[in-house]
Amino acid sequence: MKFNFYFFLSVIIFTANSQNILIGHMKYADKPVSGVSIEIVPQKGSPFRQFTGNESDFQLILPFQNTYFIHFSHPDFISSFIMVDTHVPEDKTSYRMITEFEIIFYNKNDEDVQKEVFKEPYQKFYFNGINKIVNDTVWLKGFYKRLMKKNVETQMIYEPNAARIPVNICGRFLLENNASLPILLEEVSILDRTGKIIRKSRINRFGELVMTGLFAEELFSIRLEVKKGLTGNKSVYLKNSDSTLSKMATPQNDGSYLWTLSPEEWKKLMCATPEYFIGGKIILTTKKSKDFFSNKNVYLCNQFNTVIKTTKTNQLGMFAFEDIKPDQTYYIGIDTNGVSKTDRIDLLNKEDRFVGKIDSMAGKRFILRFKTDGNDAHQLMLLSEKDLRMDIRAKIYQKNPGQALDARVTVMNEKYKPIDSVKVNTVGDFTFKYLPFFKRFYLEFEPENDAQLEQLSQLLLYGKEGEFIKAFTNLKGNKFVYKPIAPEITKMRDVNLEDPWLELSLGNRSKDHAHQAPPVISEKILFDFNKYEIQEQSKDVLNKIAFVLKENPNFKLIISAHTDCIGNAKDNLELSRKRAEAVKNYLVHKGVAATRLQTKGYGEEKPLNHCTDGTNCSEMEHAVNRRVEFTILNN
C-alpha cells in the first residue's frame, strides 16, 4: 500500500511543479486512522471533498495565491480543521513546494480534551519567506497547551431532601488511634440496613479508604476485615480527614471490625472528588546491563491513550504525576526510541517493589495499563504529599519581554513562610530544585536595586516551557507577591519523588546543619524468616544505594541491622550481624569498595516502639522494628 502511495505521489510532483503539495498522515494514539472525510474550502473558489477510504495518508494539490480551510471528519473522533495560506511572491511560484505533516485525532468521548479549542484551526501553514510552506509551530504549541482540561476540585454535598446523587466516602483506619500505625491494604465493605454489601474496596497504603459513586440513603455500616494477628485484637479507630469523626470499634467474634454510623456521621465522611499522586521508578535491563531509565520522557495517558501529562525521570529513573482521579483507566508510556524489543522495562514503586512490565505497544510508545480502583498496581504506585518533591522553573521580565529583572525570588508556602530564595539570572530565568511539595505556593519578587523597586509597576511571567503565564502589576515601591492559581502552578512546577539518597547525592543537606549528627536512612531490606539471604525484591533498593555511593566517592556507610523481639535475644543479635554483612557483601559485589562500609548488628536492642520481651504487640507493631539503617559519613 505504501509503495502505491509514493508511486502516485511521484506522478503528482512531475505534473505539478508550480503548485504546493500537501501530504498528511492521520493518526489516533500513534495508530493510523482511515475512513476520514476531508472537505477543502478555499477562500476563493468552490469547496470540494475527498474520502480516504482504507488509507490513513492523503495528498492535496493546492494552487498558490489562495487560503484554504481543510476540515477532517470521522464518526469516532472530534472534527478538526487546518488553515493553509499559499500566498507567495510571484518570483517563487515556479517552486515545487511539498509540505508533510500529521493530523492527530481525539476520541469524541474523551473528557480530558477541551472540545471548544477545535473551533479554531488545529494547525496553520504559511510561506516561510524562502522556499516552503511551513507549519506555524508557535500556534501548534499553543493549541496543545489549550487542548487539555484543567482539573477543578468539586465538592459533593449531600442534602437529605436533594435528588438522588452519588457521593464520595473518605476515611482513615488507625490501630488504637495511633497516627503512626494506620491499617494498610485490608478489605472494607459498605453495608446497607439489611447487611447487604453495597461496595467492597481496600484501604490504601496510607490507611485511607476512598469510595466513589455511592448513594447516601443506602449507607448504614462499615466492616473491616483484617488478617489474623495483624491488630492483636486491639481497638481500631475510624476517622475522617479533620478528625471531627473519630469512632472506635473492637474486634467481633470473627476478628472483623464493624462501625454503624448515623446520617450525621456518614455526612462527616463525605468528601470532595479525591485526587491521587502516583509515581515510581523505571529500570531498563538490556543484554549487557541493568540501569535506571534516567532523564527520559514519561507520558500519562487517559483511557483513550491521549497524552494528558508529560514529565521526565530523574537520574534514579523516578517520576511522579499529580491530579489522578479514582476509578479511571490510565496508561503510563515511554518512547520506544533507543529501546530494543529484547530489552526489559520494569516499573517499580517508591519502595522498589515491582509494579509491572512496560511492554505493550501503542504506536511509538511502550505502555503499561492500570486502573485507579484500589488494585495492587494502583496501591503500589500511590504516593502521599510527603513522598513528593517539586522543582519550580520560570522566567520573569520587566514590562518588555526580554528585559530581565535584576531581582531575588522567594518561594513561600500557603502560610507565607519562606522556603527558599534564588537570584534571577541575566536572561530572566529562576529555578528552585528539590523543594518540599506544596499544593499551593506563592512567589515574592524583590528587585536588588531600591531605585528599580521605585520604578517598577508591571512584571511579565513565563513558564518552564516559555509559555506566557501572566502580567501582574503592583504599587511602586512594594515587593511583588504573586499568588498563582492551579493552572498557572502547573506551568511552573515539575513534580518528582522524594528520596533521601537522591537528596544526599544532590548535595542538598543544609550547611547550617553540617555540625549535626550524620544522616541515617532506614530501609526495609527483606529477608526470609530467620535467614540472612537478601530477597530478590530488595536488590533494587541496594542497587540504588550502590549507584549513589559510586557517584559520591566521599560517602562512607555504617550498615546497622535490627530485628524484632520475637525469639531468643542472642540468636537475634547473631542474625542481625549476618544480615548487615550480607548487605555489605552485596554492595561490594556491585562495585563499592569494602573499605567504605562498616557493619553492626543490634538484634532487638534498639526497638523504635514499646515492643520488647514480654510486651503484647501486634504483627504491625513488630514489623516497625525490623529494618536496616544506613548512617552516611561524608569525608
* pLDDT tens digits for range 48-63: 999 999 999 999 999 9
User: DSSP string spanning 164-209?
Assistant: --EEEEEEEEEETT-TTSB--S-EEEEE-TTS-EEEEEE--TTSEE
Per-residue buried b or exposed e for 268-293, using 16+ beta carbons within 10 Å of the residue's own CB: bbbbeebebbbbbbbbbeeeeeeebb
Q: What's the confidence (pLDDT) of residue 1?
A: 35
Can you point out the beta strands (E) in 526-578? 555-562
CB 358 within 8 A of CB 367: yes
* pLDDT tier at 509, thresholds 50, 70, 90: very low
Top CATH class of 387-497 equals mainly beta
pLDDT level of residue 8 (50, 70, 90 thresholds): very low
Residue 445 Rama label (left phi>0; alpha psi -120 to 50; beta): beta
Q: What is the dihedral of CA 547, 550, 556, 558, to 10 degrees?
A: 30
pLDDT 10s digits, 353-382: 889 999 888 778 899 999 888 888 888 899
pLDDT at 435 over 70: yes
Residue 309's pLDDT is 87
- pLDDT one-digit tens code per residue, 326-349: 888 999 999 988 888 889 999 998
Report the distance separating Cα 127 and Cα 114, nearest Å: 29
Percentage, residues of the chain above pLDDT 70: 90
What is the C-alpha separation between 3 and 11, in angstroms, rounded? Answer: 13
Q: Spell out the domain ranges in the chain.
A: 2-147, 166-271, 277-381, 387-497, 510-634
pLDDT digits (tens, 9 = 90+) for 480-506: 788 888 888 888 998 888 888 877 766
Please report the pLDDT score of residue 457 as a whole number: 64
pLDDT at position 11 is 31
Q: How confident is the model over 504-526, as a mean pLDDT?
A: 64
Residue 235 backbone dihedrals phi, psi, to 5 degrees: -75, 150
Over residues 226-240, the mean pLDDT reads 90
Task: Specify the pLDDT at position 379.
Answer: 87
Helix (H) or strand (E) holding 497: strand 493-497
Q: Are 350 and 280 in contact (CB under 8 A)?
A: yes
Look at strands 197-202 and 290-292 and give their pairing.
unpaired
Q: Is the pLDDT of residue 16 over 80?
A: no
CATH 2.60.40 fits 277-381, yes or no: yes
pTM for the predicted model, two decimal places: 0.67
Given 2.60.40.10, 2.40.50.140, 3.40.50.720, 3.30.479.30, which CATH number is that of 2-147? 2.60.40.10
Same fold for the pair 2-147 and 166-271: yes
Other C-beta atoms lying within 10 Å of the C-beta of residue 149: 14
Q: What average pLDDT does this structure show over 543-565? A: 89
More confident residue, 452 or 267: 267
Q: Is the pLDDT of residue 288 over 50?
A: yes
Which pLDDT score is estimated for 500? Answer: 83
Residue 400: the pLDDT is: 62
CA dihedral 565, 571, 573, 575 (to 10 degrees): -100
Confidence of residue 513 (pLDDT cuts 50, 70, 90): very low
Rounded to the nearest angstrom, the gap between the alpha carbon of residue 238 and the centroid of all alpha carbons in its chain is 29
pLDDT at position 283 over 80: yes
Q: Does CATH number 3.30.70 belong to domain 166-271?
A: no
Say how far apart CA 201 and CA 539 lie, in whole Å.
31
Please give the backbone phi and psi of residue 265, each rounded to the nearest 5 degrees, phi first. -70, -40
- CATH entry 3.10.100.10 includes domain 510-634: no
- pLDDT bin (cut points 50, 70, 90) of residue 516 is low
DSSP β-bridge partners for residue 173: 238
Q: What is the mean pLDDT of residues 177-188?
A: 88
